[in-house]
Amino acid sequence: MNYLSNKLGFLGIDNKFKIKEKAIVVPFGLEKTVSYGSGTKNGPKEIISASHQVELYDEELECEPYKKIGIKTLKPFKIDKNINKALKKISEINKEILKKNIFPLTLGGEHSITPGCIIPFTQKYKNLCILHFDAHADLRESYNGEKFSHASAIKRCLDHKNVSIISFGIRNISKGEVSYLKKNSSRINIFWAKEKHKWNLNNFKKIIKNKTVYLTFDVDGLDSSIMPATGTPEPGGLLWDETLQIIKIAAKNSNIVGADINELAPIKGFNSYNFLVAKLAYKILSYKFLCKN
């Protein structure tokens, strides 16, 4: 595997810093099935660039988490135009990372990356719970004739019988998806955005307790007031502090084994949105490695 130098990689750490890595950031700007706004192919590059402005010290955790984690960034590479071949590639990359017992964090690209990302996890673990942040349920069998559409990402994950889902922030769902949800309610637990004021996070803590978890974060799960830089922004979503609270609960009570962040479509001149996602990525890694019971 070919890596960027520390200075050019995620967080822009001094090249003199050397520590055995526990996490690898994988830029994977797949953009094949977007159905509204475009630009997700530029997400990884802009996230990594913005990460160079993220403060390395975390005042909540009272340390510089990167010094305890060790983070390498894979060099960007050409992504096949055929979506099946592209998803096979990210699956192979994650499989290689998992063989080294290292944590992969994939930066998308569109949400259709997730079914490819999780394949080696479904093979390694008896049961896999996907913690899913999104405005959309993504439970369609296909969309615009494409079964690997971003609108079918979670449905493709559920094709694996050992996968269950916990979703946060859903506020956009089709009639057909509701029918599927009702038939598969034992595998899908949704914390609806419309009920945010009465979410019971103690219940979430019990649901996720001791599970093996893969985290997938579609940035349109965030409220459009703080995250308009995405192909399908939606009002009524998650805000920053409540998002971190959910991730922290998961990190403390389960084993998060991998993650992806997707659907950032950068807006030229509005770097705050890229910065938000870069900081979110750092927080996910920090909580994963520093917030265990």
Tell whether the model's pLDDT for residue 33 goes beyond 60. Answer: no
- Quote the pLDDT of residue 292: 72
Give the pLDDT band (50/70/90) at residue 148.
confident
Q: Which of 192, 189, 130 is nearest to 159 (CA)?
A: 130
Give the pLDDT band (50/70/90) at residue 253.
very high
Give me the mean pLDDT over the 51-68 stretch. 97
Burial tier of 70 (Cβ tally within 10 Å: 0-12, 13-18, 19+): middle
Give me the mean pLDDT over the 67-81 stretch. 94
Give the pLDDT band (50/70/90) at residue 162.
very high
Residues 6+ apart with CB under 8 A from 273: 227, 228, 229, 264, 266, 267
Give me the mean pLDDT over the 221-236 stretch. 95
Tell whether the model's pLDDT for residue 9 goes beyond 80. Answer: yes
Task: Compute the distance between CA of residue 150 and CA of residue 156 in angstroms, rounded to an integer.
Answer: 10
- Quote the pLDDT of residue 145: 73
- Quote the pLDDT of residue 155: 96
Q: What is the mean pLDDT of the chain?
A: 93
- Quote the pLDDT of residue 15: 85
Q: Which of 293, 292, 284, 287 is nearest to 133 (CA)?
A: 284
- Quote the pLDDT of residue 38: 57
Give me the mean pLDDT over the 216-242 stretch. 96
- Quote the pLDDT of residue 31: 66
- DSSP class of 150: G
Adjacency order of strands within the sheet including 255-262:
71-73, 23-28, 103-108, 255-262, 212-218, 128-133, 163-170, 188-192
Give me the mean pLDDT over the 58-79 stretch. 95
Q: What percent of the chain has pLDDT over 70?
A: 96
- Quote the pLDDT of residue 147: 76
Tell whether the model's pLDDT for residue 21 goes beyond 90. Answer: yes
> pTM of the prediction?
0.94
Give me the mean pLDDT over the 31-42 stretch. 64
Give me the mean pLDDT over the 57-82 stretch. 95
Give me the mean pLDDT over the 245-264 stretch. 97
Give me the mean pLDDT over the 174-178 stretch. 94
Give me the mean pLDDT over the 185-195 stretch. 96
Give me the mean pLDDT over the 107-133 stretch. 96
What is the residue whose two structure tokens read 């579609």? Answer: 218
Candidate CATH numbers 3.90.1170.40, 3.40.800.10, 2.40.50.140, 3.40.50.620; the one for domain 10-290: 3.40.800.10
Q: Taking the domains of the chain in order of start, what are their residue ranges?
A: 10-290
Contact between 40 and 31 (Cβ < 8 Å): yes
Which tens digit of pLDDT belongs to each residue from 117-128?
Answer: 999 999 999 999
- Quote the pLDDT of residue 230: 94
Distances (CA, A) of 113 to 27, 40, 44, 215: 11, 11, 13, 13
